[in-house]
Amino acid sequence: MLRIEHYSKTYPGGKKAVDDLSIHVRPGTIYGFIGHNGAGKTTTLRACAGVMDFTEGTITIDGHDIQKDPVGAKRVTAFLPDNPDLYEFMKGIDYLNFIADLYDIPAQQRTAEIARVSDAFELTGSLGSPIGSYSHGMRQKLALISAFIRHPRLLILDEPFVGLDPSASHIMKGFLAELCRGGAAVFFSTHVLEVAEKLCDEIAILKDGRLVKCGPTAALVGDSSLESVFLELEGER
């Protein structure tokens, strides 16, 4: 579903944020991407989403090269940054319909999906209010709803659990599993290692821009814990 091959990103001034990264996220997989602050996670996610340019390596999503066929890649992808930018002057329902228009979701389908996902996140009663009046958690829920109603082939999330209460986090996990059962894939970064260990089928650990460990979660963790593995690798600076 997502194939990153020899991807590198060097910023002006010569700082290499990511160095020769290769990852394959298969359909039906929840793939965790972890590392310390500044390790290159967000840079990579933004490149996969097509919102950050790069000159080294290739990234393909469901067969679409993000540089050669950006529209094709973006049509099958949903990306939520750690702090989604939403149009505060819009009502929640207007924003969801705006997203549905962008992705050509038929009227009957969007109505049903907006109702289903908004009800699950307990946000339906607030969709008639301006987004500017929403709390951080409500905005995060709205952004998630806008992604789930699209049924993307690849869902990219940057720190998705920030701002969500335990109930909303549980609901989100259910929708992630539903996506994967349908053959989609999820690629997300998180600092919540306990959640990553329980939720992810596979995990990649990035350190100073380089991939230091990856594979099935059970094999990577072994008889230890993801936290122990991560801290051991961090100690090898």
208-223 pLDDT tens trace: 999 999 999 999 999 8
Q: What is the pTM of this model?
A: 0.95
Assess whether pLDDT exceeds 90 at residue 147: yes
Q: Give the largest CA-CA distance in the chain.
A: 55
Mean pLDDT of the chain: 94
The answer, yes or no, to whether residue 108 has pLDDT greater than 60, is: yes
Contacts of 214 (CB under 8 A, 6+ apart): 23, 202, 203, 204, 205, 220
Q: How confident is the model at residue 233 (pLDDT cuts 50, 70, 90)?
A: confident
Architecture of domain 1-76+154-165+185-237: 3-Layer(aba) Sandwich (3.40)
Closest CA to 22 of 37, 10, 9, 5: 5
Q: Give pLDDT, residue 15.
A: 86
- With cut-offs at 50, 70 and 90, classify the pLDDT of residue 82: confident
